A and B are shown apart, each in its own frame.
Chain A
Amino acid sequence: MDHKEFIRGGTALSEDEIKSGKIFVEEDALDCRYAWDTGVAIGRYLAELKKGKIIAKKTNCCDRIMIPPRMFCELCYRPSGAWTYVQDTGVVNTFSISNIYYDASRVPSGEPNPMPAVIEIDGASKGMGIMHLLGEVKPEDVKIGMKVKAVWKPESERTGSITDIEYFKPY
Chain B
Amino acid sequence: MRKVAVVGAGMTKFARRALETPKELSYQASKAALDSAGMKLKDIDCVAHGSAPDAFDGIHQKGEYLADGCGGWNKPTMRVFVGGATGVHAIAHGWYHVASGLADTCLVVCEEKMSSAMPHAQAFFLTIFDAITERALGLNLIWIFALEMKRYMERYGYTKEDMALSAMKNKNQGLKHPASQFYGGNELTVEDILNSEVMASPVSRLDVSPVSDGAAAIVLASERTARRLTDKPVWIEGVGWCLDTAYWATRDLYYPRYTEIAARKAYKMAGIREPHKEINIAEPYDPFGYKQLHHMEGLLLSPKGKTVELLRDGHFDMDGNLPMCPSGGLLGVGNPIAAAGTLKLCELFWQLRGEAGERQVPGNPRLGVAQAWGDLMQVSSVVVMGINNA
Contact = CB atoms under 8 A, between A and B. Distances in A.
Interface of A: 1-13, 18, 23, 27-28, 30, 34, 36, 38, 42, 45-46, 66-68, 74, 93-105, 114, 116-118, 127-133, 144, 161-163
Contacts of B198: 97, 99
Given A100-B142, A104-B123, A144 B154 contact: yes
Given A5-B36, A12-B16, A163-B137, 12 more contacts: A2-B355, A3-B346, A3-B350, A7-B13, A10-B179, A10-B215, A94-B148, A98-B146, A99-B198, A100-B142, A118-B253, A129-B250
A30 B124 CA distance: 12
Contact of A104 (B13, B142, B148): B142
A117 B9 CA distance: 42
In the A-B complex, the 10 residue pairs with the closest CB atoms: A10-B13, A10-B12, A9-B28, A103-B123, A96-B146, A12-B15, A98-B200, A94-B151, A104-B122, A6-B10
Interface stretch (B78-86, B127-135, B311-319, B377-385): B127-135
A103 B119 contact: yes
B234 to A, nearest CB: 13
Nearest to B355: A3
B365 interface: no
Contact of A6 (B15, B35, B202): B35
Contacts of B17: 12-13, 18
Contacts of B120: 103-105
Nearest to A101: B138
Nearest to A143: B154
A10 B214 contact: yes
Contacts, number: 194
Contacts of B20: 9-11
B334 to A, nearest CB: 9
Given A4-B357, A9-B25, A116 B137 contact: yes
Nearest to B214: A10
A39 B10 CA distance: 46
B12 A68 contact: no
Nearest to B354: A1
A163 B136 contact: yes
Contacts of A129: 249-250
Contacts of B321: none
Contacts of B122: 102-104
A101 to B, nearest CB: 6
A114 B18 CA distance: 33
B12 A8 contact: yes
A11 to B, nearest CB: 4
Interface in B146-174: 146-148, 150-151, 154
Interface centre among B31, B131, B250, B355 (most CB of A within 10 A): B250
A104 B119 CA distance: 9
B355 A96 contact: no
Interface centre among A1, A98, A101 (most CB of B within 10 A): A98
Interface in B248-294: 249-253
A31 to B, nearest CB: 12
Contacts of B213: 10
A96 B19 contact: no
B32 interface: yes
26 contacts: A3-B178, A3-B346, A3-B350, A5-B36, A6-B11, A6-B33, A7-B12, A8-B31, A9-B20, A10-B11, A10-B215, A11-B13, A18-B17, A68-B247, A93-B249, A95-B147, A102-B122, A102-B140, A103-B126, A104-B123, A114-B138, A127-B250, A129-B249, A130-B133, A131-B147, A131-B249
B32 A93 contact: no
Contacts of A45: 133
B201 A96 contact: yes
B143 interface: yes
A55 to B, nearest CB: 13
Nearest to B16: A12
Nearest to A17: B19
Nearest to B253: A94
A10 B154 contact: no
A94 B150 contact: yes
B64 interface: no
Nearest to A27: B118
B207 to A, nearest CB: 12
B138 A102 contact: yes
A51 B137 CA distance: 20
Interface string B178-189: 110100000000
Contact of B134 (A67, A98, A162): A162
A127 B147 contact: no
A5 B37 CA distance: 12
Interface string B355-379: 1110000000000000000000000
Nearest to B24: A9
B202 A96 contact: yes
A27 B146 CA distance: 33
